[in-house]
Amino acid sequence: MKCKLMLDRYLQMKNWIKITLVFAFLMFNLAGMAQKQRFPKPEFGTGYSQPTPVTPEPRALALEYTDVVVLLIVLSLASWFAIRKRSRKGLLWLSVFTLLYFGFYRNGCICSIGSIQNVSLTLFDPGYAISITTLLFFLLPLIFTLYFGRTFCAGACPLGAMQDLLIIKPLSLPEWLRKTLGVIPYLYLTFAILFAATGTDFIICRYDPFVGIFRMDAEFHMVVLGIAFILMGMFVARPYCRFLCPYGVLLNWMSRFSKYHLSITPAACIQCKLCSDSCPFDAIDYPTDEKQSKNTKWGVNRFLVYALLIPLWIFIGGFAGSKAHTWISKANPTVYLAELLLSKPEVRNDQKNLDVQAFLSSGKSLETLVKEATVIRQKFYSGGWIAGGFIGLVIGMTLLGQVVYRKKNDYQPHKGNCFSCGRCMNFCPVKK
């Protein structure tokens, strides 16, 4: 009886959830819109002169180093919780701290994910010098991952924490879908590097879906995106981490070679299968099915074909990338402006087009602009070959990975995909 009551309540609850979600969604949007309303500058007839806008001072160096120290501590704690202490609770509270500190207090910036772009820009533009803190934010998590697995994702990444805390009813996704969507982070990483290296844009930052929530201020479409990710994340656990995060690609690589990695069981797996459904991210590898992996002839043939196809994928990918460079380079503001002025000279009369007006009043000649744009486009051409080739390689390798069987006897986290969140540990009946 009591149970029935409970269930009724629960169903009622479900409706509430829906309504709330819709409202929350609406509200975030409205809040975002309201933020964008700008108030006209007052006009003073008296002697008052408008103060000139100033760029805020960069964060004091001491505080920047504090951030690095905090990161270091959080990383160490996360690794300790995941590997030595085996405490899911510890990781949970650590991620709450991370969310508050790196998310809401530091407004999602400085961020290891975004630091990829600073690193690429430094590598390609000698005029840009990366700050030591940014470099550390880029390197520290990678180094930790190389030793302890993705404990950064478990406890030190505010984006991950946000999503992890909002997982409500995770659904398991079929493997083909996971693997296919899994190509996206590579794409994103490639474009992020390409755009950063050409000085075009920092797309990781621009399209960070959560930063608007951290800052309580964002453009309308970004708020929509943020809410969409949160809503999706309630059912598809950590959607950004799994199907977008470009830093996750690097972490995944590092983690595969990690020296110590979280394990589900502290001792020997007794094949009880209790943990098999415990990972909301489908990151647990099951023991290999002997029957299937025996089917070797088919596997060997495919392996050979796929292995031989890899160079072809690289070449075709590179070719397509180089071909698409004209189009992609239009994302660069200089190229865009130059093309706009060339293809539509009448925009010069458009007082509302601020970019054009700024260019006109800068006194720079069209010739110089076009020259600059051509240089950038050239970079995109070579970048297109590399980026396309890399994506081709990723496709080729993913295919190859599908015909390779590695023998596994136990239930184990997939070292690359596991976020070391520690959920599965609680399901294991073996204690020491």
Partner 1 sequence: MEPENKLKFSLNIALVSGIFCITVALLLLLNFMQMSKNKPLESKALTSLVKRLSQEPNSDELKQEIRNFDLLARKAYFNSQWQVKTGGYLLLFGAIVFALSLRVFIGLKSKIEEPDVKDENDLTSRIMTQRWVMITGSVMIVLGLVASFASVDHLQKYDVNESLAETKSIDNQDKVEVIKVGEIPNATQPAIADSTKKLVAGNTAKVDTSKVKATLVAATKITFPGSNAIKVNASSFRGPFGNGVFFQKGTPVEWDAASGKNVIWKTSVPKKGFNSPVIWGNKLFLSGADQQSREVYCFDCNSGKVLWKQPVDNITGSPATMPKVTEDTGFAASSLTTDGNKVYAIFANGDIICFDMDGNRVWARNLGLPDNHYGHASSLVMWKDKVYIQYDTNKSRKLIALNASTGETVWETARKGKISWASPILADINGKFQVVLSTDPMVAGYDAESGKELWSVDCLSGEVGPSPASGGGLIFAANEYAKLVAIDPSKNSKVWESDEFLPEVASPVTANGLLFIATSYGVLACYDAKSGVKYWSKEEGPGYYSSPVIADNKLYTFDTSGKMRVYDMAKEAKLLGEGNAAEKVTTTPAFANARMYLRTSNFLYCVGKK
Query: If binding is defined by CB under 6 A, does position 240 make contact with ligand SF4?
Result: yes
Contact partner, 284, from partner 1, ligand SF4, none, Cβ < 5-8 Å per class: ligand SF4
CB-based contact 159:244 (threshold 8 Å)? no
Contact partner, 256, from ligand SF4, partner 1, none, Cβ < 5-8 Å per class: none
For the beta carbon of residue 169, count every other beta carbon within 10 angstroms. 8
Query: If binding is defined by CB under 6 A, does position 191 make contact with ligand SF4?
Result: no
Contact partner, 216, from ligand SF4, partner 1, none, Cβ < 5-8 Å per class: partner 1
Contact partner, 356, from ligand SF4, partner 1, none, Cβ < 5-8 Å per class: none
| In the complex, minimum distance from the CB of residue 423 to ligand SF4, in angstroms, rounded to a whole number | 4
Contact partner, 225, from partner 1, ligand SF4, none, Cβ < 5-8 Å per class: none
Cα angle value 94/98/101 (rounded, 5°): 135
Going by C-beta distance under 8 Å and a sequence separation of 6 or more, which residues neighbour residue 303? 400, 403, 404
Beta-bridged to residue 413, according to DSSP, are: 284
Pick out residues in 71-130 that bind ligand SF4 (CB under 6 A).
113
| In the complex, minimum distance from the CB of residue 157 to ligand SF4, in angstroms, rounded to a whole number | 3
Member of 90, 103, 160, 226 binding ligand SF4 (CB under 6 A): 160
Where helices occur in 149-258 by DSSP H, the ranges are 151, 158-165, 175-181, 184-197, 203-206, 211-215, 220-233, 239-243, 246-256
Q: How is residue 15 written in tokens?
A: 């409706």
Distance CA 99, CA 106 (A): 9
Q: How is residue 261 written in tokens?
A: 């990695």
The stretch near ligand SF4 (CB under 6 A) out of 157-165, 169-177, 200-208, 334-342 is 157-165
Cβ proximity to partner 1: between 85 and 179 the closer is 179
Cα of 202 vs its chain's centroid, Å = 13
Q: Measured between alpha carbons, how far apart are the two ends of the chain, in Å?
A: 40
Cβ proximity to partner 1: between 137 and 313 the closer is 313
Contact partner, 166, from partner 1, ligand SF4, none, Cβ < 5-8 Å per class: partner 1
Query: If binding is defined by CB under 6 A, does position 258 make contact with ligand SF4?
Result: no
Distance CA 371, CA 389 (A): 27
86: left (phi over 0), alpha (psi -120 to 50) or beta: left
Query: If binding is defined by CB under 6 A, does position 261 make contact with ligand SF4?
Result: no
Contact partner, 295, from partner 1, ligand SF4, none, Cβ < 5-8 Å per class: partner 1
Cβ proximity to ligand SF4: between 240 and 313 the closer is 240
| In the complex, minimum distance from the CB of residue 207 to ligand SF4, in angstroms, rounded to a whole number | 13
CB-based contact 108:102 (threshold 8 Å)? yes
Cβ proximity to ligand SF4: between 125 and 277 the closer is 277
- Per-residue DSSP letter, 149: -
Distance CA 76, CA 188 (A): 29
Cα angle value 378/384/387 (rounded, 5°): 140
Distance CA 42, CA 363 (A): 29
* Backbone CA torsion sign across 93, 99, 102, 104: negative
For the beta carbon of residue 37, count every other beta carbon within 10 angstroms. 6
| In the complex, minimum distance from the CB of residue 276 to ligand SF4, in angstroms, rounded to a whole number | 11
Query: If binding is defined by CB under 6 A, does position 233 make contact with ligand SF4?
Result: no
Pick out residues in 378-417 that bind ligand SF4 (CB under 6 A).
413
Contact partner, 330, from ligand SF4, partner 1, none, Cβ < 5-8 Å per class: partner 1
Q: How is residue 90 written in tokens?
A: 């510890």
| In the complex, minimum distance from the CB of residue 149 to ligand SF4, in angstroms, rounded to a whole number | 8
CB-based contact 319:375 (threshold 8 Å)? no
Query: If binding is defined by CB under 6 A, does position 230 make contact with ligand SF4?
Result: no
The amino acid occupying position 19 is I
Query: If binding is defined by CB under 6 A, does position 420 make contact with ligand SF4?
Result: yes
Contact partner, 3, from partner 1, ligand SF4, none, Cβ < 5-8 Å per class: none
Contact partner, 13, from ligand SF4, partner 1, none, Cβ < 5-8 Å per class: partner 1
The stretch near ligand SF4 (CB under 6 A) out of 7-15, 196-204, 273-281, 332-340 is 273-281
> Please, is 370 exposed, middle or buried when counting C-beta atoms within 10 Å of its C-beta (0-12, 13-18, 19+)?
middle
Member of 248, 318, 383, 396 binding ligand SF4 (CB under 6 A): 248
| In the complex, minimum distance from the CB of residue 185 to partner 1, in angstroms, rounded to a whole number | 13
Query: Total number of residues binding ligand SF4 (CB under 6 A)?
Result: 25
Residues that bind ligand SF4 (CB under 6 A): 113, 153, 157, 159-160, 240-241, 245, 247-248, 251, 262, 278-279, 281, 283-284, 413, 418-424
